[in-house]
Homo-oligomer: A and B are copies of this chain.
Amino acid sequence: MSNPDQAPILLEQTLTPLSELDPLTRKVLVQLPPRAAADNRADVDSVRHVLEQQVGPMQIPLSLMHSIPALCSTREPLTATLAPTGCCWQLIELEQGDTTEEHYGLAVDIGTTTIVVYLIDMHSGAVLQRAADFNGQIPFGEDILSRIRHAAEPSGLIELQHAIRDTLNRLIDRVCIPPLTPTRISAVSIGANTTMVHLLLGLDPVSISRSPYIPVVNAPGILTAQDIGLGINPLAPVYCLPSVGSFIGGDIIAGVLVSSMHLQDEISLFVDIGTNGEIVMGNREWLVACAGAAGPALEGGVTTHGMRAEAGAVDRVSLDPVSGEVRYSTIGQTPACGICGSGLVDILAELFLHEIIDRAAHFATGQSHFIVVPAAESTTGQDIIVTQADIDNLMATKGAVNAALDVLLESVGCSWQDIHRFYAAGAFGQYLPLESAITIGLYPDLPRSSMIRLGNSSGEGARQVLLSQAKRKEAETLAATITYFELNANPTFMDKFKSSKFLPHTDIDRYPSVKARLQARRTAAQSGQRA
């Protein structure tokens, strides 16, 4: 997890040039004809008439009617902003002059930990500004389950809704550089997990965490900014990417959309390991998915000296091939105070490659921990260590990913060799060291050119649906297409999980590059010993 101020910028490779911009709202030039002597048509009716001739059936809300006569008095050109209501259009703003090129929307990624807002130029498709911050709900609970528990407290749901809304409004203020004001923003699209969508909308999330794990809604449709209290044009449409269910949310639909795996003949694997882990597998003909709590080992919570990816976190680690000395770097190049997820994955990989732990991830010599940063170099005055328990936790995460993948493969009658591409989504996907993640078996061992980091694919998916109606339809089809496998109730999963606690995998032949590197390391070590 990165510091929110360093939240992943959309990768260039994922900034898909959309062939045709067809944004969530439209701006249309309105030229009323000169008023003839016998023309008794009222101004509101005239505006509606001209718009209906251009784009079809049109609603004009009462709140805009007041201002229309003054705008129409000169018969100068006007610019109308139009929002879809499901089947027709609604006028949501009418301005003097031709402002069709000043057309702003927001693409939003709401993560359990971090919220990122992108200001989008809906005329060009470009990202104009971005701002990120921690989700204001964190004080009510670090993970999704504790948020859902808090929502059941008196006023809890309102507190959570206001926290997420307030974070969004602060970020909106930050991306609006004067003279642009938030009220000129006319559309929002949101990629978020199912719980975050419920909390944003003020819907009770309790059913998400209770069998049969059915959310209140998967496809909220188009709501308005005033429905959820965003400080932009109150009539601006707010589109939440649809969920598949409680555990596969709009953020994952956004990621799959960005990957384009659903358009390819070959089978791809999509993995988003964050606070929760989600896996989607498939191609243009079918898509299967599963999910589970994956994050604790990679977040700060359960590791002895674990921490979020903030300043002072050990983020990269390697062992000198000859001396075995630990080399590390920290975020912000400040003295070390803990280890973040990417550092932990590096450590596990290096300990394994140097055979300090065995294939079962046990310290070979019976030692109880490994010192990453000696006390003299740490800000805590203590050794920063990784214990056997820390390693076991990370192995459980890795084992769960392996087992889930096997369950999905079996469910569709494929083998791991059928997987042609791998997409790593989310902040972990952006920052996890690729080779180490392969070495410990968290990622598959594919040709590196087939392994693609999607960056903040939830935000990029939100940008795409903001700018393209075709992409919105594609997202909705995706959500309806993906078959979800419930792992918790699946005995096969538990069997596979128990038997998948080897590095990099129970079946090492699935990891030829790791096998080769291990062999090379052993050879080097032996020749080093001989030397």
Contact = CB atoms under 8 A, between A and B. Distances in A.
A45 B218 contact: yes
A42 interface: yes
Given A43-B214, A87-B87, A220 B65 contact: yes
B66 A202 contact: yes
Contact of A216 (B42, B221, B244): B42
A68 interface: yes
Contacts of A216: 42-44, 65-66, 68-69
Contacts of A136: none
Interface string A460-490: 0000000000000000000000001000000
A41 interface: yes
A88 interface: yes
A42 B223 CA distance: 17
Interface stretch (A56-64, A122-130, A502-510): A56-64
Interface in A388-445: none
A227 interface: yes
Contacts of A50: none
B85 A40 contact: no
Contacts of A43: 214, 216-217
A245 interface: yes
A218 B65 CA distance: 11
Given A66-B204, A68-B216, A220-B65, A59 B42 contact: no
A158 to B, nearest CB: 12
Interface in A55-87: 57-62, 65-66, 68-69, 85-87
Contacts of A62: 201-202, 220, 223, 227-228
B87 A217 contact: no
A44 B217 contact: yes
A202 to B, nearest CB: 7
A57 B87 contact: yes
Contact of A87 (B42, B88, B484): B88
Contacts of A217: 42-45, 65, 68
A215 interface: yes
B218 A484 contact: no
Number of copies of this chain that the complex holds:
2
A219 interface: yes
A218 B43 CA distance: 9
A61 B221 CA distance: 9
A227 B60 CA distance: 12
A203 interface: yes
A207 interface: yes
A42 B85 contact: no
Give the interface size class of chain A: 35 or more
Given A62-B223, A227-B62, A218 B41 contact: yes
B40 A245 contact: yes
Contact of A60 (B60, B204, B221): B221
A219 B45 contact: yes
Contacts of A228: 62
A201 B87 contact: no
A58 B220 CA distance: 12
Contact of A65 (B48, B68, B201, B214): B201
A212 B42 CA distance: 11
Contact of A59 (B58, B86, B207, B484): B86
Contacts of A227: 61-62
A217 B47 CA distance: 10
B203 A40 contact: no
Contacts of A213: 40
Q: Which 5 A-B pairs have the closest CB atoms?
A: A87-B87, A44-B217, A87-B88, A40-B245, A42-B218
21 contacts: A35-B212, A40-B214, A40-B245, A42-B216, A42-B218, A42-B219, A43-B216, A43-B217, A44-B218, A44-B220, A58-B86, A61-B227, A62-B202, A62-B223, A62-B228, A65-B217, A66-B202, A68-B217, A85-B85, A86-B87, A87-B87
Given A65-B201, A86-B87, 20 more contacts: A40-B213, A40-B245, A41-B218, A43-B216, A44-B220, A48-B219, A59-B221, A59-B222, A61-B227, A62-B220, A66-B202, A66-B203, A66-B216, A68-B216, A68-B217, A69-B204, A69-B214, A69-B216, A85-B86, A88-B88
